[in-house]
Amino acid sequence: MRVRLLVPAVLIASLLVAPAVTVGAPRTSWDAKACGRVGGTLVFGQAQDAVSLDPGDIEDGFSVNNTSNMFDTLVRFRADSTQIEPSLAESWSVTQDGLVWTFRLRRGVKFHDGTPFNADAVVFTYARQIDKKHPYFPGNAPYASFTYQNVKSVTAVDPYTVRFTLSAPFAPFLTNMAMFSTSIVSPTAVKKWGKDFFKHPVGTGPFKFVEWVQKDRITMEANRDYWAGRPCVDRLIIRGIPDNTVRLLEMERGGLHLMDQVNPPDYERIRRNNRLVLFTGPGLNTGYIALNTEREPFNDVRVRRAVNMSVNKPALIRAFYAGVGQPAKNPMPPTIWGYNDAVKPYEYNPERARQLLAEAGYPNGITTELWWPNRARPYLTQPQKIAEAIQQQLAKGGIRAKLVTYEWGTYLDKLSNGEHPMAIIGWIGDNGDPDNFLYVLLDKDNAVKGDANNYAFYKSEAVHDLLIRAQRIGDQAARARLYRQAQEIIARDAPWVPLVHAARVGAYRREVQNFYLHPLQIWWLHRVWIQR
């Protein structure tokens, strides 16, 4: 028996007409975002140019911002959340055992090269990423093993029906089908360009590729036949300008409409300028200290709690995140459904920390190492300064930590080998599913030395049981309950010191309308319009 999950007829009908005015569609749907004016050139400046424009071969956000405006996925994230809505697939169903997913594809959609979009294109997109002997295997396909995890086969049932068979029930599968790396590519174009497809991208998305001047800019033009209605602007240009100050000056002069990555000291400058708007919101990331639970003294939960009580998170956020980050108490950020806001954070209390250490048999405190990564990450803007600040805070709680660092690649290797006592690290969410934080970072399955992502080597049977059950059921409310329970246990066991959820920040000119920086920090720009 099959369970119909989602076929809102009103929504689909609204997808088919140009969304000049839409009535009745949910506010968060892309189709609710109408163009107030059509035309013009929109220029977005980001800190780096794209590396590659083959969505199956990228992993950096700068490339993703480009491909996401040129390609579509089977399903897509809503305009302001990580909830899923139809895209190239109009509807889908899953068998009750959770193993077979069937997608009904939208008819009449064409790739930018004029060839038809159909089930064969979906199968081709999958096959070229998963089989490295495939004649059109992209260079690396770095995300294939993540997005297609548990997928056993993909078959075209008929030209407009495609079937994914899984090896185990896996609820996050649907979310993965909205991720950039599963963007459907034109098989004709891939075969035509071969290894050079990365600079001749052809999708079905709202913008068509025009030109790429590498390390400089990418030009796209509106796809006037876009199935969800043409984008508001005629041309989209995405420039790479590495220096944050120069990028801001360029926007102030009117050379850019939007920019990413603002220097925190410049927030005030933007707020004071009535031609500019500063956008801040919680980011989809967590910076944390992993406490290696397999090594003394961190195998003792009292010591781990003592570390938690020694870190003053608000002070760190004031000093290093310009006050716009959020102190973390759970492993995942509050933008994700299933977040447990009832979890009580460990209070900052160095006195109590010393007591706990004494109870654990360390009346004189402990001497250990605090590892830090020598590379700025979104969740760790100034690694060395943050590490030094934490070192000083820990000292007050009786934890004398020597700072240790390694080059980024080596650092990750050593962490997955469990060579660290305490290590500062973090995670940027891929798809907005709780599984992507909790299972990946804290399940015992991922605590295998050498391959670990669970850098605390935290092995809780109770948590494992909850996380696996949550993977196997489809109902989101039921899953959310399981994840909330897991967060409670994790907070009690304290394998981490959750530090911060760094904000997502962008800025734009006042005339830019309808812009919302998505929680995934992908800059979808097809519904943005420019006021005269």
Partner 1 sequence: MSRFLLRRLLELVPVFFGVILVVFVISRMTPGDPARIILGEKATPEALAQLRVVLGLDQPLPVQFARYLGRAMRGDLGRSIQSNERVIVDLATRFPATIELTAAAMLIATVVGVLTGVLAAARQHSWFDGASMIVALVGFSMPIFWLGIMLILLFAWQLGWFPISGRLDYAVELRRITNFYVLDALLARNGAAFGDALRHLVLPAVTLSTVPLAIIARMTRSALLEVLRQDYVRTARAKGLAERRVVLGHALRNAGIPVITVIGLNVGSLLGGAILTETIFAWPGVGRLVVDAIFARDYPVVQGAVLVIAVVFVLVNLAVDLAYAYLDPRIRYG
Residues at the site binding partner 1, with contacts judged by CB under 8 A: 41, 43, 49, 51-52, 54, 57, 59, 132, 138-140, 142-146, 195, 198-199, 213-217, 219, 237, 239-243, 245-247, 249-250, 252-253, 255, 406-410, 412-413, 425-428, 430, 450-451, 453
Let me know how long the chain is: 532
Selection from 160, 149, 177 nearest residue 117 by Cα:
160
Q: Locate 323 and state its tokens.
A: 């006050």
In one letter, which amino acid is 75?
Answer: V
CB of 445 to partner 1, least distance (A): 12
Place of tokens 């992507």: 436
CB of 107 to partner 1, least distance (A): 33
Whole-angstrom Cα Rg for the chain: 24
Classify residue 213 as exposed, middle or buried by CB count within 10 Å of its CB (0-12, 13-18, 19+).
exposed
Nearest CB to partner 1, comparing residues 199 and 396 = 199
CB of 308 to partner 1, least distance (A): 22
> Could you tell me where the DSSP H helices lie in 141-266?
144-147, 173-176, 187-193, 244-252
Nearest CB to partner 1, comparing residues 368 and 471 = 471
Selection from 49, 48, 42 nearest residue 257 by Cα:
42
CB of 248 to partner 1, least distance (A): 10
> Could you tell me where the DSSP H helices lie in 339-475?
350-359, 383-396, 408-416, 435-442, 461-472
CB of 45 to partner 1, least distance (A): 9
Nearest CB to partner 1, comparing residues 227 and 427 = 427
The residues, ordered by sequence, that sit 6+ positions from 73 with a Cβ below 8 Å of its Cβ are 87, 88, 177, 178, 179, 180, 182, 183, 184
Nearest CB to partner 1, comparing residues 94 and 151 = 151
CB of 401 to partner 1, least distance (A): 22
Q: Helix (H, G, I), strand (E, B), or coil: what is residue 282?
A: strand
Nearest CB to partner 1, comparing residues 25 and 380 = 380
Report whether 531 contacts 36 (CB < 8 A).
yes
Nearest CB to partner 1, comparing residues 103 and 136 = 136
Nearest CB to partner 1, comparing residues 359 and 413 = 413
Q: Locate 428 and state its tokens.
A: 């940027």
CB of 76 to partner 1, least distance (A): 21
Rounded Cα distance, 84 and 342, in Å: 26
CB of 71 to partner 1, least distance (A): 17
Nearest CB to partner 1, comparing residues 139 and 363 = 139
Nearest CB to partner 1, comparing residues 144 and 390 = 144
Nearest CB to partner 1, comparing residues 99 and 428 = 428
CB of 390 to partner 1, least distance (A): 19
CB of 116 to partner 1, least distance (A): 27
β-sheet bridge partners, residue 166: 151
Task: Quickly list DSSP for 313-376.
Answer: HHHHHHHHSTT-SEE-SSSS-TTSTT--TTPPPPP--HHHHHHHHHHTT-TT-EEEEEEEESS-
